[in-house]
Chains A and B, each alone.
Chain A
Amino acid sequence: MADFIIRALLAGLMVAIIAGPLGCFVVWRRMSYFGDTLAHSALFGIALGLILDISLQLSVIVACMLLAVALVMMENRRGLSTDTILGILAHTSLALGLVMISFTDNQINLMAYLFGDLLTVSWNDLIWIGASVCIVLGVLFANWNRLLTITLHQELAQVEGLNVTRLRLLLMLLIALIVAVSMKVVGVLLITSLLIIPPACARAFSKTPESMSVMASIVGCIAVCGGLAASWFWDTPTGPSIVVMTSLLFIFSRVAVSGEKG
């Protein structure tokens, strides 16, 4: 089999595995709009990388993480709802990114960033993704129970002695990192779907947070394999094919649930 398809498969599977548990937190904490905002700011990171002539991968990660920190800081202010702040940040960074890119001489393929370009993943990309996935998996594992506790009840967790602000920031940084590196896989516009649809599929079949996370990872992996296969056999765009696969799996899961209930 061609080398590029193996790289694509590896990158897709790694992202799907980590998107499972991380996506569960996005669903539990209703942060899907936050994921969208991060993804939009990734394009700003691309523009920044092009202008400063640094690694695009690195500049995207930095841009996403800066946005996450900015959000945590702004969330504590009164006056505007988080919803509004997210909307402002998302579209400002997207528009600013597009404007900045127009000033550079680079003829970059915007479509590749918007919808992903999994088939062109290089070994270098793979290393970035692999390292990020390992870090996120490790940190998530080490803080798992604490993150569940603050998700269930923030103030109760605080009274019991957890540093809620730090844990929230940590979770946001983890999501930022994964959004940044998975841009190659499904692109800016579709990243959130990879975070929220697999957990949504898994919800009806799970009784513990852990089983929901593992099942979400498995759903993601199936979708990556299916999407790549569709792309290989019918020449469909890879990123959107993967997302369509997750959507199909979601529909199957709903049908299965209503069938069970009879």
Chain B
Amino acid sequence: MDENFLINASNISLEIEQRQILNNISLQVAKEQIVTLIGPNGAGKTSLVKIVLGLVQPSSGTITLRKGLSVGYMPQRLHIDPSMPVSVDRFLKLAVNANRSEIGGVLKEVGASALLNSQLHSLSGGELQRVLLARALIQAPQLLVLDEPVQGVDVNGQAELYRLIENIRTRHKCGILLVSHDLHLVMSATDEVICLNQHVCCHGHPEQVSNDPAYLELFGKKDAETLAVYTHHHNHSHDLGGDIVEKREK
């Protein structure tokens, strides 16, 4: 086994009430590697993530974690009852192991400093995702697990969030397990793609996967093409305050 591994899942199967959810799945995430799980709805992506996190026990298979691995988890969605008043600041301080002095830092890193005193239930989809990402970063994670991190975010915001995730990988030198339902946006940021539909349809480098017959069949050729068309970029973007941020050329 690669000694840089953070997590190693082998031959994972999950059956719930005689229904096969996952069939013989193996995956590895190494240091500073971004592994993306893609697949249609109901493919078992979230189930697999929950097994990796230890929230669900697999019917068979083994999960090995690197010794003393710290995990940051960004759940798919945060359903807070609007009856619960809680500020972003408080939400982050509630994180187990939260270090009060770090909160400003992680919020700044995800570009959400302005939200510190906002109420959680007043945030937009994109803002909430950034706050959830900040909460995951508080754990000083060696492994970040992000379940559909761009859900409810508009297309420009999605690209920006993925750029942010890529930067986080470089800065924190952590491995990232990412769940997404489309490939094109995560392409550039991903080292390894696993295309899931109860079993592993195909896996490998993103370009390789996007041409794989199994991938094309799963998403439909037409769909795959239209998705790939979206490659244009804006020359500026907006931060959360609405101000224009010039893009720096690399």
Task: Establish whether residues A153 and B81, one from each chain, have CB atoms under 8 Å apart when the complex forms.
Answer: no
A152 and B83 in contact, given A145-B94, A160-B96 (Cβ under 8 angstroms): no
Summarize B's interface: helix, strand, loop or mixed.
loop
Of A30, A162, A203, A208, the residue contacting B96 (CB under 8 A) is: A162
Contacts of B229 in A (CB 8 A): none
Of A27, A149, A162, A208, the residue contacting B83 (CB under 8 A) is: A27
Of B78, B85, B91, B97, the residue contacting A212 (CB under 8 A) is: B85
Of B53, B81, B145, the residue contacting A29 (CB under 8 A) is: B81
Contacts of B87 in A (CB 8 A): 207-208
Q: Give the size of the chain B interface in residues (CB under 8 angstroms).
A: 26
Task: Establish whether residues A209 and B55, one from each chain, have CB atoms under 8 Å apart when the complex forms.
Answer: no
A203 and B135 in contact, given A152-B78, A155-B75 (Cβ under 8 angstroms): no
B119 interface contact, C-beta 8 A: yes
Contact string, A149-162, partner B, CB cutoff 8 A, digits 1/0? 10111011111111
Identify the closest chain B residue to A159 (Cβ): B73
A211 to B54, CA, bound (A): 35
Residue pairs across A and B with CB atoms within 8 Å: the count is 66
Contact string, B67-80, partner A, CB cutoff 8 A, digits 1/0? 00001010100101
Contacts of B17 in A (CB 8 A): 78
Contact string, A199-213, partner B, CB cutoff 8 A, digits 1/0? 110010011110110
A199 to B83, CA, bound (A): 9
A152 to chain B, nearest CB (A): 6
Contacts of A156 in B (CB 8 A): 73, 75, 78, 135
Task: Establish whether residues B75 and A151, one from each chain, have CB atoms under 8 Å apart when the complex forms.
Answer: no
A28 and B84 in contact, given A155-B55, A159-B55 (Cβ under 8 angstroms): yes
Task: Establish whether residues A160 and B95, one from each chain, have CB atoms under 8 Å apart when the complex forms.
Answer: yes
Task: Establish whether residues B84 and A149, one from each chain, have CB atoms under 8 Å apart when the complex forms.
Answer: no
Contacts of A28 in B (CB 8 A): 81, 83-84
B139 interface contact, C-beta 8 A: yes
A203 and B78 in contact, given A145-B94, A160-B139, A162-B96 (Cβ under 8 angstroms): no
Query: Would you list the 3 A-B pairs with minimal beta carbon distance, nearest first?
Result: A160-B96, A159-B73, A28-B84
Offer 23 A-B interface pairs, CB within 8 angstroms, sorted by A: A27-B83, A29-B81, A78-B17, A145-B94, A148-B94, A149-B94, A149-B95, A149-B96, A151-B84, A155-B53, A156-B73, A156-B78, A159-B54, A161-B96, A203-B83, A206-B85, A207-B85, A207-B119, A209-B84, A209-B85, A209-B86, A209-B90, A211-B85
Question: Can you name 11 extra interface pairs (CB under 8 A) apart from A145-B94, A159-B73, A200-B83?
Answer: A29-B81, A30-B81, A148-B86, A149-B94, A152-B80, A152-B86, A159-B55, A159-B71, A160-B96, A208-B86, A209-B84
